[in-house]
Each structure stands twice: as structure tokens, then as C-alpha cells.
Amino acid sequence: MPTSSTLWFRVGRVMQLTLEGVAGATLFAMMLLTTADVTGRYFFNTPILGTVELTQLMLAALVFLSLPVVCWREEHVSVDLLDSVFPSGLIWIRQVLVNLIVTAALWVMAQRAWLLAQRAFEWGDVTEFLRIPRGYLIALIAAMLALSALLTLGRAVLYLLEGLKVIKQGGPLSPSTERGGDND
């Protein structure tokens, strides 16, 4: 019988692989579309209509589908100016604070994006050339921002629990926990 931590690990792994798979498929579709458009444009003098709009939509989806995984792995851009002067025993406090600030920022953005999605649906907002409804993409962005906020909140809780010695190993500060990598 799997423990609750094993169950959550499996749920997280499935979520991560799903998001990475959909983002990868989106990137592959962008590559195929661009290749077909360039080939059609230069060899057959017939470009694919709406390529720019489709590429813009897919790029936005790609970025926001990847955001939750990046937030959970803490692989976003960071500056380590104060790492050398910050006491190593208090790193967990800094990480809790940073993750809580990021959680708040992501949550505010998710709420604003959700309001924009609702407005796009109400007004029937569509792309200029292909008339694709924009509300679905904006709702996806809002959902990914909210998921990212929940994951950074979870990161903050893990840092707090490990910093207070409630959990001894397996948290973000633990040397046995590898962040990043091919199969995280």
C-alpha cells in the first residue's frame, strides 16, 4: 500500500510529465508550422495563412505550460549576489520569504489573467486574422499561473518544515534532493 508521500510524488510526477509533454508537443508543432511556412513561401510561393498568429498563440502556451515545472524545480533566473554573505544556517528563512513573495505575485497575476479571460469570453475577443477565440489561451495562462503559485507555496512550506527540523531529509535544503536534471 503506497504511503501518502509516495502518492503525492506520483501525482506530481504525472503532472510534470503531462505539462512537459504538452509543452514539447506545442514546440514541435511550432517547428513543423514554421518549416512548412518557410518551405511553402520560398519554394512554392504559397505561405501558410495565419502562421504568425498561430506561432504567437503557441509560444504563449509553451511559456505558461512550462512555468509550473520551472517554479517547482526553482530553475528560474536568479541572482546570487548575497549568497556569499548570507549565513548558511538561515538560508531556509530566505527561501521561505522568497517563495512566499513569488507565490503572492503569481497569485495576483493569476487573478488578473482570469478576469481578462472572462472579459475575452464575454466580448467574443478573437484573433485578427484567423478569428481564434483568445479567452481559452488566457484561461490557460491563468490556470498555469495559479498552479505555479500553489507549487511555490508548497516549496515555501517544505523549506519551512525542513528549516524547523520537522522533516529531516527530502526537503529542498536536503543534500540528497537533486533539483533539475533530466528526470525530476
Rounded distance between C-alpha atoms, residue 63 and residue 177, angstroms: 26
> What pLDDT is recorded for position 76?
82
CB atoms within 10 A of CB 67: 20
Average pLDDT for the chain: 87
> HEC states along the chain?
CCCHHHHHHHHHHHHHHHHHHHHHHHHHHHHHHHHHHHHHHHHCCCCCCCHHHHHHHHHHHHHHHHHHHHHHHCCCCCCCCCCCCCCHHHHHHHHHHHHHHHHHHHHHHHHHHHHHHHHHHHHCCECCCCCCECHHHHHHHHHHHHHHHHHHHHHHHHHHHHHCCCCCCCCCCCCCCCCCCCCC
Range of the domain at 89: 4-163
pLDDT digits (tens, 9 = 90+) for 166-176: 877 655 666 64
Question: Is 28 within a domain?
Answer: yes
Task: Answer whether residue 100 is part of any domain.
Answer: yes
pLDDT in tens, 68-91: 999 988 888 877 777 778 787 888
Higher-scoring residue by pLDDT: 3, 85: 85
Predicted local distance difference test score (pLDDT) of residue 172: 65
CA angle 143, 144, 150 (to 5 degrees): 90
Residue 39 domain flag: yes
Task: Give the residue among 18, 22, 14, 12 at the shortest CA–CA distance from 72.
Answer: 12
Tens of pLDDT, residue by residue over 8-52, are: 778 878 888 999 999 999 999 999 999 999 999 999 999 999 999
- The verdict on residue 174 lying in a domain is no
Residue 177 lies in a domain: no
Based on the structure, what is the number of domains in the chain? Answer: 1
